[in-house]
Amino acid sequence: MRKRKRVINIICIVIVAVLILLSIIYINHQIHLKEETDLRLPLGQMVEVDGHNMSIYVEGSGDTTLVFMSGGGTCSPILDFKSLYSLLSDKVQIAVVEKFGYGFSDVVDKNRDIDSILEDTRSALAAAGLNAPYVLCPHSMSGLEALYWAQKYPEEVSAIIGLDMAVPEYYDSMNLNIPIMHIAGWAANIGVTRFIPGISDSDAIKYGTLSDAEKEIYRAIFYNRTSTVTMLNEVEQVKKNAQKVNSIGVPQLPMLLFISDGSGGTGFDKETWRKIPIEYISQIDEGEYIELNCPHYVHDYEYKTISENILAFLFE
């Protein structure tokens, strides 16, 4: 009886200790979030979409507008793409749309089927005063949205430039551990990530051309926009989205794919990662691809090479 009581007391002590620790972590997180408020002031403009605020950044001018579309879970798309678009905006107009749950946009618990995502993006561009046709520059998961856009509104898309973008076939065998992602979201929300050294240093910070001030902004956004409920809803829907895009067929338009070596979190080996998009683009009459020996966030590593090839693709 005494032994059982002692075990119960130990369990209670452990539970109380864990709760106290979590409370300290959460309070610390809230204090830092308040201190970082000024770092999270929007870099671009905020537009209203479906009753919520959505962030869009526009730079440069010209008759050609490149729309940069982030991969799943990229907390700061505006800064993530900066190393690349800063090399292009003296010749073309660029726009970075930050989906709900990303960057400076509102976190919204809403359906993330492919139609909802696309209509949000189109509405944001229109609200910012930008007009189609666009050259779409999707990274990773946004490749599905870009392909669907070209299928559904072909008059609005003049070309697609894929930055290691996803095509539907990737999701046939991709293993998505949704429960682990929800745990990661919970940990991020209470501030556990602040105690993991280096976790906020993205490829854009480590390998891109961001200034020290921009790196601090990126880190502040990371602690406020990691595994948001909107991002999780997107991941939960992605296989159905891929199936829908795949069922409509391959759009025929000028397309250039930059393909990485598959490292950097794709979950695929190099051969498989490259084989899938190469087979996909072989079905496109005006399709080209360039293989790069770098990880998945190609625009944070090979921005010079990519920018040169984008300009050649568009204007030569």
- Taking only the tens place, the pLDDT of each residue in 224-250 is 998 899 999 999 999 999 999 999 999
Instruction: Retrieve residue 230's tokens.
Output: 């909107």
Beta bridge partners of 160: 136, 255
Angle between helices 178-190 and 229-248 (to 10 degrees): 150
Would you state the pLDDT for residue 10? 79
Angle between helices 229-248 and 142-152 (to 10 degrees): 50
Would you state the pLDDT for residue 1? 61
In this structure, which amino acid lies at residue 278?
Answer: I
Instruction: Retrieve residue 163's tokens.
Output: 């930055």
Would you state the pLDDT for residue 2? 67
| Alpha-helical segments (H) within 67-211 | 77-80, 82-85, 114-127, 142-152, 170-173, 178-190, 203-207
Question: CB atoms < 10 A from the CB of 11, how many?
Answer: 10
Q: What is the pTM of this model?
A: 0.92
The phi and psi torsions of 163 (rounded to 5 degrees) equal -95, 80
CA pseudo-torsion sign 138, 140, 144, 147: positive
Would you state the pLDDT for residue 301? 97
Would you state the pLDDT for residue 196? 85
Number of Cα atoms under 13 Å in the Cβ half of residue 259 = 22
Please state, in angstroms and rounded to a whole number, the distance separating the CA atoms of residues 261 and 273.
7
Beta bridge partners of 138: 69
Beta strands 134-140; 93-98: pairing state: unpaired
Number of Cα atoms under 13 Å in the Cβ half of residue 215 = 14
Please state, in angstroms and rounded to a whole number, the distance separating the CA atoms of residues 43 and 73.
19
In 3D, which of 160, 135, 145, 88 has the Cα closest to residue 112? 145
- In the sheet that holds 255-259, the strands lie side by side as 45-49, 52-59, 93-98, 65-69, 134-140, 157-165, 255-259, 287-291
In 3D, which of 272, 312, 306 has the Cα closest to residue 162? 306
Please state, in angstroms and rounded to a whole number, the distance separating the CA atoms of residues 96 and 226.
19
Please state, in angstroms and rounded to a whole number, the distance separating the CA atoms of residues 113 and 125.
19
From first to last of the 316 residues of the chain, give the pLDDT tens digit.
666 777 777 788 888 888 888 888 888 889 988 999 999 999 999 999 999 999 999 999 888 999 999 999 899 999 999 999 999 999 999 999 999 999 999 999 988 999 999 999 999 999 999 999 999 999 999 999 999 999 999 999 999 999 999 999 999 877 777 788 888 888 888 888 888 888 889 999 999 999 999 999 999 999 999 889 999 999 999 999 999 999 999 999 999 999 999 998 888 999 999 999 999 999 999 999 999 999 999 999 999 999 999 999 998 7
What pLDDT, in 10s, does the model give residues 288-299?
A: 999 999 999 999
